[in-house]
């Protein structure tokens, strides 16, 4: 292994820059030559490969987004896309690539691996829906962004004695909703993985109303319900003023938390070690505080389930 490529792909996540920095600095430390691939798999096909020196990753550990840019590449899904990508990697003398992204990015990684390029995945997605790792890069920052929003919404919800329905991201998973809902003290949390009972939600809201609660917060993961329809139904059934807030892409930006910077630095540095050892088709993850390596193929054949303990506890504490 002489030259290592690094790319970010899919939705950006706070902490991606810390991961790029760790790949670059760890590679240079071991006498390797790191190369950056811009705009994910799209940039790889377009041959957007740049040299990354020590200074190129200075002053980025605290920045959200990704200095390499990112994309969701439709071209890479065509039969020719991966062939062009591999040709570009070979011409640049790149033997292995660290792919920082989510499950879609890892599917792309496997395509490169099938054509002889060594690949290691580093899980980065605010959704935290990647199996075999307790956390993916960006999740902690996103949850903290949601908490900050809930705190602010709570002030106005109390002043006006309103019900607020807050939609959070998560793609097809409810991890952001669950963690932010529990930490934000939500009355109800709706996630795509579990059906919800509107009568039960309304009964809880009425109980709160009866004992003088000034506001109620419902956290709804995208994909769990249409928040506007839900808002109308709740307004009609409770006769309480109801408002809907969709937090959207603010959840993807901002400076990464210390936890995301640590996670990104540790996992990405380990990914360089995996490639140095000549290993491939792996994903680096963190389980119970330990950095571990998993088969990429197995990651793509499993689904991360929502944490039952959090679901139960959130329901108990919002009694
Ligand atoms: O995967 C991250 C994510 O932010 C999801 O939570 C969301 O469903 C999706 O990306 C939004 O994608 P886009 O930025 O392409 O609209």
CA dist 149 and 145 (Å) reads: 6
In a 10 Å sphere around its CB, with 0-12 CB exposed, 13-18 middle and 19+ buried, how is residue 262 labelled?
middle
Q: Determine the distance separating the centroid of ligand 1 and the alpha carbon of 139, expressed in angstroms.
A: 13
Report the nearest-CA residue for atom 15 of ligand 1: 11
Q: Is the pLDDT confidence value at 82 over 90?
A: yes
Task: List the domains of the chain with CATH numbers.
Answer: 3-138+256-299 (3.40.50.450), 140-252 (3.40.50.460)
> Are β-strands 290-295 and 3-8 bridged in parallel, bridged antiparallel, or unpaired?
unpaired
Mean pLDDT computed over 5-20 = 98
Query: Which residue of 10, 103, 105, 169 sits with most ligand 1 atoms within 8 Å of its CB, as the best mutation to test the pocket?
Result: 169
Tell me the C-alpha distance between 120 and 124, whole Å.
13
Q: Is 127 in the active site? A: yes
Q: For the whole model, what pTM was predicted?
A: 0.98
Q: How far apart are the C-alpha atoms of 312 and 319, rounded to whole Å?
A: 11
- Ligand 1 centroid to 289 CA: how many Å? 27
- Output the CA 91–ligand 1 centroid distance in Å: 33
Nearest-CA residue for atom 13 of ligand 1: 11
Residue 319, pLDDT > 90, answer no
Mean of the pLDDT values across residues 34-45?
A: 98
User: How far apart, in whole angstroms, are the C-alpha atoms of residue 56 and residue 33?
Assistant: 13
pLDDT of the residue at 287? 97
Q: Residue 92: what pLDDT?
A: 98
Strands lying side by side in the sheet with 118-123:
49-51, 33-37, 3-8, 96-101, 118-123, 282-287, 290-295
User: Which stretch of DSSP H or E encloses residue 268?
Assistant: helix 258-276
CB atoms within 10 A of CB 195: 8
Nearest ligand 1 atom, CA 251: 4
pLDDT over 90 at 2, yes or no: yes
CA-to-CA distance for 124 and 18, rounded, in angstroms? 11
Tokens of 182: 């529990």
Of all residues in the chain, the percent with pLDDT exceeding 70 is 100
Measured between alpha carbons, how far apart are the two ends of the chain, in Å? 57
Q: Are 94 and 103 in contact (CB under 8 A)?
A: no
On the question of pLDDT at 129 being above 90, the answer is yes
Give dist(CA 53, CA 133) in Å, integer: 30
Q: What is the CA(87)–ligand 1 centre distance, in A?
A: 30
Output the average pLDDT for the chain. Answer: 97
Residue whose Cα lies nearest atom 1 of ligand 1: it is 11
Cβ–Cβ under 8 Å, residues 273 and 102: no
Residue 225 pLDDT more than 90? yes
Per residue in 259-312, pLDDT (tens digit) is 999 999 999 999 999 999 999 999 999 999 999 999 999 999 999 999 999 999
Average pLDDT over residues 226-250: 97
Atom of ligand 1 nearest to the CA of 169: 6
At 227 the pLDDT is 98
Q: Whose CA is nearest to atom 5 of ligand 1?
A: 171
Interatomic CA distance for residues 275 and 95, integer angstroms: 9
CA 112 to chain centre: 22
- Return the ligand 1 atom nearest residue 13 CA: 2
Taking CA atoms, 212 is separated from 178, 184, 216, 315, in Å, by: 26, 20, 11, 20
Tokens of 234: 């709740």
Strands 96-101 and 49-51: unpaired
Atom of ligand 1 nearest to the CA of 176: 6
pLDDT on residue 214: 83
pLDDT for 133 equals 98
Protein residue with least CA distance to atom 8, ligand 1? 171
Q: Give the per-residue pLDDT at 192.
A: 98
Determine the pLDDT at residue 35: 98
Ligand 1: which residues within 6 Å by Cβ? 11, 102, 125-127, 169-171, 222, 252
Which among 69, 73, 103, 127 is the best mutation to test ligand 1's pocket, defined by most ligand atoms within 8 Å of the CB? 127
- pLDDT reported for residue 1: 83
Helix (H, G, I), strand (E, B) or coil at 246: strand
- Shortest-distance Cα residue to atom 9 of ligand 1: 171
Contacts of 51 (CB under 8 A, 6+ apart): 33, 34, 35, 36
pLDDT at 31 over 90: yes
Backbone angles phi, psi at 274, to 5 degrees: -60, -45
- Of 103, 127, 129, 179, the catalytic one is 127
């Amino acid at each position: 292994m002489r030259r290592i490529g690094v790319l970010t792909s899919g939705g950006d996540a706070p902490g991606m820059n810390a991961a790029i920095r760790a790949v670059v600095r760890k590679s240079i430390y071991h006498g390797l030559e790191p190369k950056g691939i811009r705009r994910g798999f799209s940039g790889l096909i377009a041959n957007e490969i740049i040299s990354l020196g020590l200074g190129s990753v200075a002053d980025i550990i605290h920045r959200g987004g990704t200095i390499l840019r990112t994309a969701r590449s439709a071209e890479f899904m065509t039969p020719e896309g991966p062939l062009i990508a591999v040709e570009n990697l070979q011409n640049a003398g790149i033997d292995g690539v660290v792919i920082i992204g989510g499950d879609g990015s890892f599917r792309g990684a496997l395509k490169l691996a099938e054509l002889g390029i060594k690949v290691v995945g580093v899980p980065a997605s605010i959704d935290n829906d990647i199996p075999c790792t307790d956390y993916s890069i960006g999740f902690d920052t996103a949850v903290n962004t949601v908490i900050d929003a809930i705190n602010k919404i709570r002030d106005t919800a109390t002043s006006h004695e309103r019900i607020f329905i807050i939609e959070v991201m998560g793609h097809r998973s409810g991890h952001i909703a669950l963690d932010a809902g529990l930490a934000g003290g939500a009355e109800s949390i709706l996630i795509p993985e579990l059906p919800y009972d509107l009568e039960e939600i309304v009964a809880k809201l009425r109980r709160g109303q009866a004992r003088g609660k000034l506001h109620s917060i419902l956290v709804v993961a995208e994909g769990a319900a249409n928040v506007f329809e839900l808002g109308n139904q709740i307004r009609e059934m409770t006769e309480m003023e109801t408002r809907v807030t969709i937090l959207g892409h603010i959840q993807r930006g901002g400076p990464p938390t210390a936890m995301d910077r640590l996670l990104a630095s540790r996992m990405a540095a380990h990914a360089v070690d995996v490639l140095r050892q000549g290993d491939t088709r792996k994903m680096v993850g963190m389980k119970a505080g330990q950095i571990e390596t998993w088969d990429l193929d197995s990651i793509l054949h499993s689904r991360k389930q929502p944490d039952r303990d959090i679901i139960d506890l959130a329901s108990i504490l919002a009694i």
